A and B are shown apart, each in its own frame.
Chain A
Amino acid sequence: MKHSDPRYPPLGFGLGLRVQHYEDLLSVDHGVEWLEVLSENFMVDGGRPLQYLERFRERLPLVMHGVSLSIGSCDPLDMRYLRQLRTLAQRVEPAWISDHLCWTGVDGTNLHDLMPLPYTAEALKHVVERTLRVQDFLGRRILLENVSSYVTYAASALTEWEFLAEVARQADCLILLDVNNVHVSARNHGFDAQEYLSGVPANRVQQIHLAGHEEGEALIIDTHDAPIVDPVWDLYGSALRRFGGISTMIERDDHVPPLEDLLAELDRARAIAGAQLSVAA
């Protein structure tokens, strides 16, 4: 499975597929080059969701993004979930499959949240072993995404980016870098976002997420429900300087605006990429 560049071919600039945009994305000349679908939304037996999925699949490259892999949980891997994921992948034929570097529950309970891991040797070994098993089962490299976090565990011995880099290297997997999440966690924990980017192995970054967040009193909260703020755009520029032309998408999970608003954000991403990559060239 090892190659000099382990990544899939890039797809350009995309959006997270949301119900509110189904018709516009099918009818409007929007310039969106690919779509990311939420895997769990389509783990259903039938009906309109799967009919729409088929129509989008005929038009654009799709990638699958999940929230239930729970790669860091101490529970056994959920084979029922993995079988459903594999079945969906056979139907969608996605360019790639991603989930999060986190855990979502233990002892059979699911918190439906992306809980942060302690950055320890034990957790690293655990995540690497499970990622290898998942990749064997799915027959492909997966992407793991950095999550926003609000706590640091006393047990952590590595930085988040050191942990992420080691998981990618040892499990031979790829990285979905959520630039907003880097910004949120950097602010919440007081680390340097640029240092984070410097610690991420460039040849492992397959995809970038851009999103907005909410300013709280003491912490900023990753809501993915607001426009992207300037510091995140700046960090995106830095990421492109370091990683090159990476498939980028806008991920809006709530307060979903009209498609035009997201297309405008996507145009801004294109402009930043154009400027950064022309400088690099």
Chain B
Amino acid sequence: MTHLRDIQRAMQQSVLVCDAKPALAIVADSQGATARDRLHVYIHAYRARLAEVLGNDFGGTLAMIGEKRFGELAQAYIRAHPSREFNARWYGEAFPHFLSTTPQASENPAIGEMAKLDWGIGLSFDAPDEPSVGPKELEGLAPELWPHMRFRLHRSVQRLRFEFNVAMIRRAADRRDPIPEAARLAASQGWVVSRMDGRIFHREISDDENAALAVTASGGSFADVCDELCLWHDASDVAMRAVTLLRDWIDSGWLADLVVESGTSPVSDFN
């Protein structure tokens, strides 16, 4: 008698290699349909289901390259990446990297970048709920303490960098507008995806903002942010720029966990 594990391995092998043969011996003949046809129901369903998962999670990529091309690349990924996750929510995690590196998608280097944006939007969508720092938390803070403020980024914030106009394409796809042609940008752009009140937002950030945000994300203080901005602006403009960025980040809900380590470092010249 064939054991349970052998049956499961044979069935799984048939599904993964897209061939009824490994499981033919364990399936009983019966009227109405051949064993081969019966096995192909599972073989087909596996590919169709995972392709649907990828289509749902990579809506911008699907809109950019069309159903036929997306389907071909999805099937290539499905062949190369059997799922190891119990939750299909995570099946597409390696899809952006696959699209960025496989020769099969080399005709358009924007594809992998688009997929990174799609995945980032998904991560932001169901990131943990947590309070953002609000303006009132800063209102009560003495100016001399501002240099010592530290934050971390809200867990819905995804920082991305694009060489192509993928954000514009995703926006058009979300609005069901005509999809623009993929095109390389004059210079690479930083983008932030975030969530506020359950809704997803994404916007371009300038290079100085990107650098300042990186300092904040890595645990730097507001004084460190100002030091970073000194590399981008005249010293006389830095304080105003830093405060403007901080206000924008707070209004966008990008910051969490305000901590002020007073007395641990000298007060910055900027306040």
Q: Which residues of A contact B (CB under 8 A)?
A: 40, 43-51, 68, 70, 72-74, 78, 80-81, 103-113, 115, 117-118, 120, 122-123, 126, 150-156, 188-190, 218-219, 221
Question: Chain A: which residue is nearest B91 at the CB level?
Answer: A112
Query: At the interface, yes or no: B265 with Cβ under 8 Å from chain A?
Result: no
Q: Is A218 a contact of B32 with CB atoms below 8 Å?
A: yes
Point out which of A104, A117, A118 has the most chain B C-beta atoms below 10 A from its C-beta: A118
14 CB-based A-B contacts, threshold 8 Å: A40-B86, A40-B89, A45-B155, A48-B125, A74-B5, A78-B86, A81-B87, A111-B15, A111-B42, A112-B88, A113-B45, A122-B3, A152-B30, A156-B28
Query: At the interface, yes or no: B11 with Cβ under 8 Å from chain A?
Result: yes
Bound-state Cα–Cα, A122 to B2, Å? 10
Contact of A112 among B8, B38, B49 (CB under 8 A): B49
Query: At the interface, yes or no: B39 with Cβ under 8 Å from chain A?
Result: yes
A118 to chain B, nearest CB (A): 5
Bound-state Cα–Cα, A47 to B28, Å? 47
Q: Is B4 a contact of A126 with CB atoms below 8 Å?
A: yes
Q: Is A150 a contact of B41 with CB atoms below 8 Å?
A: yes
B49 to chain A, nearest CB (A): 5
Find chain B residues with CB under 8 A from A72 CB: 4
Question: Chain B: which residue is nearest A157 at the CB level?
Answer: B1
Bound-state Cα–Cα, A152 to B41, Å? 13
A255 to chain B, nearest CB (A): 12
Contact of B129 among A50, A78, A108, A113 (CB under 8 A): A50
Q: Is A151 a contact of B91 with CB atoms below 8 Å?
A: no
User: DSSP majority for the A interface?
Assistant: loop
Q: Is B28 a contact of A154 with CB atoms below 8 Å?
A: yes
A217 to chain B, nearest CB (A): 8
Return the CB mask of B125-142 against A: 1 if under 8 Å, else 0.
111111000000000000
Q: Is B27 a contact of A111 with CB atoms below 8 Å?
A: no
Q: Is A219 a contact of B11 with CB atoms below 8 Å?
A: no
Q: Is A151 a contact of B35 with CB atoms below 8 Å?
A: yes
Find chain B residues with CB under 8 A from A70 CB: 86
Bound-state Cα–Cα, A151 to B5, Å? 17
A149 to chain B, nearest CB (A): 9
Find chain B residues with CB under 8 A from A156 CB: 28
Find chain B residues with CB under 8 A from A120 CB: 1, 4
Contact of A106 among B9, B28, B127 (CB under 8 A): B9
Question: Chain A: which residue is nearest B53 at the CB level?
Answer: A112
Return the CB mask of B247-264 against A: 1 if under 8 Å, else 0.
000000000000000000
Query: At the interface, yes or no: B33 with Cβ under 8 Å from chain A?
Result: yes
B7 to chain A, nearest CB (A): 5
Closest 9 CB pairs between A and B?
A46-B129, A44-B126, A218-B33, A48-B198, A45-B128, A74-B5, A68-B86, A106-B8, A47-B126
Given contacts A47-B126, A155-B26, A188-B32, contact A74 B4 (CB under 8 A): yes
